[in-house]
Structures are given as C-alpha cells and as structure tokens.
Amino acid sequence: MNNEKKVILTGMQPTGFLHLGNFLGAANNWNKILDQYTCYFFIPNQHAITIPQVPANLRNATLNCVAQYIACGLDPNRCTIFVQSHIIGHTELTWVLSCLTPLGQLYRMHQFKDKSAKKENIYSGLLYYPVLMAADILLYNADFVPTGEDQRQHVELARDLAEKFNVTYSETFTIPSPLIETSGARIMSLKAPEHKMSKSDSDSNATIYITDEPKIIQKKIASAVTDSGDIIANDPKRPGIANLLNIYCAATGISMEEAEEKFSTYRSYAPFKKELADVLITLLEPVQEKYKSIKDDKEYLQSVIRKGTEMVQPIAYRTLSKVYRKVGFLDK
C-alpha cells in the first residue's frame, strides 16, 4: 500500500492584493489541508508578466504575497512556499509541453478570450499562460490543484498534456485533478456581477481586498450593484443580489437554501447588506491582524521563500531531467 501523502499545488498571482474571490474560493480552505497533503504554494510571478507590470510593484507584490499567504493561514512549517521564477524548470518544462499543445486549444481558453478582449496588443505569453500553468503542476506531480472555477479549463489542459506526454514518451506525470469549492468558487464583481471579481480590475470598488478596513468593506457592500427588487434570493436574472447571497454562504459555510430561508422575511436589501458586511469584517479580522504583524518583516518573508526554494528545486530538477531524457535530449 502506498502511504505517501498526495501532493497539492496552488498559487495566486502577485498582481495586487488578494480579494474575497481568492480568499473564499481558495485561500480560506488552505489551512484545512496542510496536514493531509504535501502542500506546495507558489507565487506565480512569471504568470503575472503576461499582463504589463511595473517592475518595482511586481517585486514588492511578490514578497507581499508571501505575507498574505501566511496571513490566510499558511504555516510555513507545515507547507512549502516558493517563488516561481526562483526555480529552474517551470519555463523549461513549458517549452517541452508547448510542443505537444495544439494552438487551437489555447485560443479557446476563456481566460485568454477575457483578458485579450478589447486589447490592441496581445502578446504570446498570455496565450501560453495555460501551458506554463500545466508545467507548474506537472513539475511537482501534483495530484490536486485547488482553484476557483475560472481555472478549471486550465487544469483540464494540464491533464490533457500529462496524458499526451505519458502516451507519447511513456508513463511520467501524475494526472492532476482540480479541487473546486462548491460555494465561493466564483465570486463576482460588486460593480459588474456578470464578470468575476479580479485583482486586476481597475475599479477598486468592484473588489473587496482581504486587507480592506471595516469601513471600506461596509461602503463597498452598501454600494454593490443590485436591482430595484427587494427579495433576497439566488435568481440568475438578478446577478447582483445572487452574488452577495453566494458571498454570504461562502463566508458563513451555510447552504444557499438555508440562506434564502434566513432572509426570506426581509423586504429590503439594506439590512442584508449590513449583515453581510459584518460577517466579512469578522471573517477577515484575524487575517488582517496576522498580515499587519508580518508584512514589514522582509527578512522573515525572504527566509520563508529561501527555505521553499531549497525544498522544491531538487524535485523540479528531477522531473526535468526525466523529461529531457524521455524526449531525447543528450545528457551533459
């Protein structure tokens, strides 16, 4: 019997502060899995440059992301945290995998379509993003990839590429599966609820960041777009209120039926919004406290990622050498 723990790998781009979608869809559950799995949490800074970044901001955001990970409950003594660009292997494996990836499959990716829409200059890095993500996952032979719903298609590509490589060259990669929460997997924008909440949204009122002060949370929820109705229900024709109700469920852990029942006697959105804001403020309070206590301790944050690099670089080398051998690259 194989007693080895299954491997989990996941990450969040250092493209801004983590938001409620990242938290409810992923980070809030991270600490529950630390002891059950071998956990790798990385900071995908190579993914971040698929959209133009100011270099100094990216550098700061990368270290800051480590602080946010720890604040969200990642205990560096029970998991490994590392920065993508520090590890040799991610981009090398991307190249090999890209030689097995049909271009048409990349053009069909929802994220590529969303992020390239209305852009004048579209760079190939954005198109290749899912291949880099497949390399991130396969390099560590991850069994599970916790993500929000928006990344499901990308994990499916990673599965396809693992299977294709295994069939073409012989058994090499573990076939990964997505781990997607039932509620919280798709938190929508507070200002345009037909779009998902995003770190890179230029309207900061559309997004609740995990570092938002209580007053800001109250203001953002109070001004969230709803409709002229007054029934608090999960009605797809009223995406604004449905999104707020979904946020309530994800934050409290109750089911949609229970939430609809709880608010069935309310005849206005305002008191519901107030209750929701209070729930979020309480939920984020310990995260914010922890974040404030470590965010300026650069030496500590650097030491966490140095330890992470030492831990994962040998694993990445091992997989890469195996892959190079299998595709026919000559040994050094």
290 a catalytic residue: no
Task: Quote the CA–CA distance of 257 and 127 in Å, as a whole number.
Answer: 40
Residue 147, interface with ligand ATP (CB under 6 A)?
yes
Residue 201 vs 218, nearer CB to ligand ATP: 201
Q: Residues 18 to 37: which contact ligand ATP by CB under 6 A?
A: 19, 21-22, 25-26
Q: Which two tokens stand for residue 292?
A: 């404030």
Min dist. Cβ of residue 14 to ligand ATP (A): 8
273 noted as active-site residue? no
State which residue, 87 or 320, has the beta carbon closest to ligand ATP. Answer: 87
5 is catalytic: no
- Whole-angstrom distance, CA of residue 300 vs CA of residue 322: 34
Strand partners, 329: none
Sheet holding 144-146, edge to edge: 80-83, 38-43, 7-11, 144-146, 177-179
Nearer to ligand ATP, 28 or 320 (CB): 28
Of 198, 226, 243, 252, the residue at the interface with ligand ATP (CB under 6 A) is: 198
To ligand ATP, the closest distance from the beta carbon of 113 in angstroms equals 13
**Residue 150 in the binding site for ligand ATP (CB under 6 A):** yes
Structure tokens given for 2: 């194989």
Choice from 197, 217, 241, 242 touching ligand ATP (CB under 6 A)? 197
Q: Which of 5, 113, 119, 196 is catalytic?
A: 196
User: Binding ligand ATP by CB under 6 A: which of 13, 45, 211, 252?
Assistant: 13
Tell me: does residue 46 bind ligand ATP (CB under 6 A): no
User: Which of 87, 101, 144, 186 is the binder for ligand ATP (CB under 6 A)?
Assistant: 186
DSSP structure string for 203-262: -GGG--BTT--HHHHHHHHHTS---S-------TTSHHHHHHHHHHHHHH---HHHHHHH
Minimum distance of ligand ATP from residue 44's CB (angstroms)? 7
Catalytic one of 191, 199, 220, 273 = 199
Left if phi > 0, otherwise alpha if psi is -120 to 50, otherwise beta: which for 135? alpha
Provide the residue type at 4 as one letter.
Answer: E
Alpha helices (H) along the chain: 20-22, 28-33, 45-48, 55-71, 90-98, 103-107, 110-116, 124-139, 152-169, 214-222, 239-252, 256-262, 269-294, 298-327
Binding residues for ligand ATP, per CB under 6 A? Answer: 12-13, 15, 19, 21-22, 25-26, 147-148, 150-151, 185-187, 196-200
Catalytic residues: 115, 196, 199
